Amino acid sequence: MTRLVIATRRSRLALWQAEHVKAQLAARGHAVELLAMTTRGDELQGSLVEAGGKGLFIKELETALADGRADLAVHSMKDMPAELPPGFVLAAILAREDPRDAFVSVRYSGFAGLPPGSIVGTSSLRRQAQVLERHPTLEVRPLRGNVDTRLAKLDRGEYAAVVLAHAGLKRLGLAARTRSLLSIEESMPAPGQAALGIECLSGRADVRALVAPLDDSASSTCVRAERAVNRSLGGDCTIPLGAFAELQATRLRLRALVASPDGRRIVRAEATGDSADPEGLGRGVADALRGQGADQILAALSK
């Protein structure tokens, strides 16, 4: 029996994810403990983009890996920066949940029913841009906090509706809160959305071997293609970029977009390629987006 320590954030969803991995490792005969931590991202009250991006959610976990307090860390793949720091590696990507975004509301069943001027909450520039592109008469306001906090704000009437990842609701037993699922065309997911990743030190060959059986090859292939789009555009996981890959036998279909936060300019690209080279496909789609002006859209964000 091997003893392993998993570093995780303290939020209810993060703990569910860590427990999910713990159960799979325990089923293989390993003794597993959780090291629950509060990260800077969890404590942040203001803009995540201005504070440095979603990497704030994982830095403390990586410190725990580096100093030996933990052997592995479990993350939502959509929160992982496109480039990991030197010395760290993604050892496994687990089977993906439903990657679609969810429309959540107390009174309304979908966007079509929202009156003009209705307030929609989201923490994501990607979601904001796609909502405003299709529904320019709505008002989109920032929505921070964990899933329970966001739902509480909705229930208090601060928002007419909110957009959340359906996978997170489902994992917390809150799937019934989803009033309607948004299609990939309506709201393209973030790269890696609904997939869980296991990170460890690149030099820990023992840990990499132990978690390798948890890797889902189909999900890994798709997520690697999506992350390659982001990496090629030099972005992080807070920029208004969506990417979604689907495995079709030995072929991989990849769609992606880059948007201005106000939804007035969105460029889209799509390609199909060999599933054996997901990163190459991702780079090609990124080049297609760049050819339509993606770099200019992203550059405007930093002004």
Return the active site residues: 79
Task: Tell me the C-alpha to C-alpha distance, in Å, between residue 127 and each of 18, 170, 206, 232, 238.
Answer: 26, 19, 39, 21, 11
110-139 exposure pattern, b = at least 16 Cβ within 10 A, e = fewer:
ebeebeeebbbbbbbbbbbbbbbbebeebe
Q: 262: which 2 tokens?
A: 């106000």
The DSSP bridge pattern shows strands 119-122 and 161-165 to be parallel
Q: Nearest to residue 196, comparing CAs of 231, 223, 230?
A: 223
Residue 120 carries which DSSP code? E
Cβ atoms 260, 129 nearer than 8 A: yes
Q: Using alpha carbons, list the distances in angstroms from residue 60 to 9, 38, 51, 66, 145.
A: 9, 8, 15, 10, 18
